[in-house]
Structures are given as C-alpha cells and as structure tokens.
Amino acid sequence: MGGPADIRLHSDLPDRMFTVDEANALIPALEEIFLRLDPKFARMRELRELTDDYEAYYGGGIGEALMVDRDTYALYVRERSDLDRSIQADIDEVLAFGCEVKDLHRGLVDFPSRMGNEVVYLCWQRGEKGVGWWHTLRGGFAGRKPLTPQTER
C-alpha cells in the first residue's frame, strides 16, 4: 500500500520556465487544490490513528480479531489507500502545471524560472497573494529573497 514516502512531489527536470506573471496566474488554481487537500489530510490523520489503534491492540494477530473488527480495520485500510490515490491525483494536478510542491501541508510551491543566466525557483506559499520570493535551486525556503523589479527581469 502506498504511503507518505511514496508521494511524488516534483518532477526530475523542469518541463517549463515561468515568468512571475505566469506563476501568479496559477495561484487561484493552486489555492483551490490545497483547499481540497485540507479535509483529505485531516481524514488521513484520523484513519492512521484508527488503524494504528487496531494494530496496537491486536498486534500481528488482526486476522484473529473478531469479524466486526477485521471488517472495520479492512474498511479503514481501503479508505486510506483510496485517499492516498486521491491526494496523489491532486499533487499530480499541480505537477502538470510544471511547478514543484515543496511542502504539502504549508502549501509551498516552487516555479522554475530564469534570472539572468541562472535557473532559480520563484517561491510561493499558500496564503500569499502572489509570487513575491525567489531562491536558488539549492537555497530552499530558508534562502528566499524578495522579488524586486530588478530581479523580475
């Protein structure tokens, strides 16, 4: 069964380079996708707790549990699997735009871009009105710098 480690958050190579305007044009769609993900993450947390409780109680003997407990556990496991696929579909929708998801829960997205001769990331975080930051490919969130009219060229 897939799990959090199986989630694909970015592609290996950028398919496209974004301008600030192109990245900003995607913000409403990204906000909508992250709003869809919120209840899915909440339910996934609930399902993990429920299945963890069953596994802790029965240990490796879930097959020896009462029929109703086995059936309930199996239902939770199936729902988790379905939810994993649904979450990945939402992530794939973001990836289809050509950007990369850096942090699902914070809604952190990077857009490959060119700044002079250098490839950088334009950086947006959920709740920000638009792309106002950039960082080097290795700089990450901690290395974010504000976009200025000079850097946007």
Is the pLDDT score of 128 beyond 80?
A: yes
pLDDT band at 61 (very low <50, low <70, confident <90, very high): confident
pLDDT band at 1 (very low <50, low <70, confident <90, very high): very low
The answer to whether residues 17 and 113 touch, using CB atoms and an 8 Å cutoff, is yes
Helix axes 20-58, 67-96, angle to 10 degrees: 170
Is the pLDDT score of 16 beyond 80?
A: yes
Average pLDDT over residues 106-121: 94
Is the pLDDT score of 98 beyond 60?
A: yes
What mean pLDDT, rounded, does the chain reach? Answer: 87
Looking at residue 7, what is its pLDDT?
Answer: 53
pLDDT band at 152 (very low <50, low <70, confident <90, very high): low
Q: Which residue has the tokens 């857009």?
A: 111
pTM for the full predicted model: 0.80
Q: What angle do CA 37, 43, 48 make, to 5 degrees?
A: 120
Q: Which of 125, 121, 127, 128 lies closest to 143, judged by CA? A: 121
Average pLDDT over residues 117-129: 94
